Amino acid sequence: MQRVRRYLDPVLVAGVLFSVVVSVVLDVSGLATGAEPLIVGLVGTAITLVLESIVLAERRFRWRERFARAPELESRMEQVADWLIEVSERYPGSQVEAEAQRRVDRLLQDVEELASGRMRFPGSDYRLIVRATREAKSTMWAITNLRTHTGEQAFVGPKYWEENRRAVQRGVRVARVFAYDEMTDQTRDLVAQHEQAGIQVHTVRNDRVPSEASMSLVVWDDAVGWEAQLNADGEVVENRFTVRPDDVRRLVGLFRRCVDAGDPPEARTV
């Protein structure tokens, strides 16, 4: 039954029924005689079928046009559609069908976010940070808030720190702002470690950090940005990446504001 409903277009059904009703009314009322009611009904049905074929052709044309712009998607979308139809036909009204619909809705939300140039990953997933650092070509601007992190190599891992060093070695200009509550020996050691690796370091007290920049962020090549989203306990719960130009400009602006509010170099030795 579901298969039948899927192939019955509402416009087609309405058009045919209307033609049949008009034909019957003409015949019963005597407004038309002989074969005239039948001819009217057939003409109405024919017109409906022509209009329906035009609509279907237009739909197919739009789909072909879309897939022509992204041909690699055609087979995948067809496969997804086939699976969803199979779920609907084999398990109608079941939890499986309901879950399939929820996953499709979630997929649509995720793809809509990607279309806006943004991506989100769990707080423990730092693979894209490492990859973006590995692929950086010219610049890398970063803010690390030591209130929640003890340095990128601590919360991402030694692989990320190694990619920082390699970036410097291949000519990428790397600059990092450390935002701190108190200038401790550990912070000074961290600054020295970065400077020895060829990284330009700035420090700034948290009470001078703009509120929008209170979380760690990185911008690669003024084209890709990342910022951490924290929970109430200061733990990273989500990694947000963006390639939207307005987002990237905002993150670069926050970095520059922190640099401008930073300590003079001699403050690190006090």
Quick one: tokens of 207? 């009470």
pLDDT for the residue numbered 37: 60
pLDDT for the residue numbered 4: 44
Q: What is the DSSP string of 134-187?
A: HH--SEEEEEEETTT-S-HHHHT-HHHHHHHHHHHHTT-EEEEEEEESS--HHH
Strand pairing partners for 179? 145, 204
pLDDT for the residue numbered 1: 46
Tally of CA atoms within 13 A in the half-sphere of 224 that contains its CB: 17
At 136-151, the pLDDT tens digits run 999 999 999 887 655 4
All residue ranges of the chain with pLDDT < 50 are 1-7, 151, 153-154, 270
Size of the chain, expressed as the number of residues it contains: 270
Type of residue found at 248: V
CB 207 within 8 A of CB 94: no
The CATH homologous superfamily for domain 120-269 is: Endonuclease Chain A (3.30.870.10)
pTM above 0.85, yes or no: no
**Reduced to 3 states, what is the DSSP secondary structure of residue 207?**
helix
Domain ranges of the chain: 2-115, 120-269
pLDDT for the residue numbered 154: 47
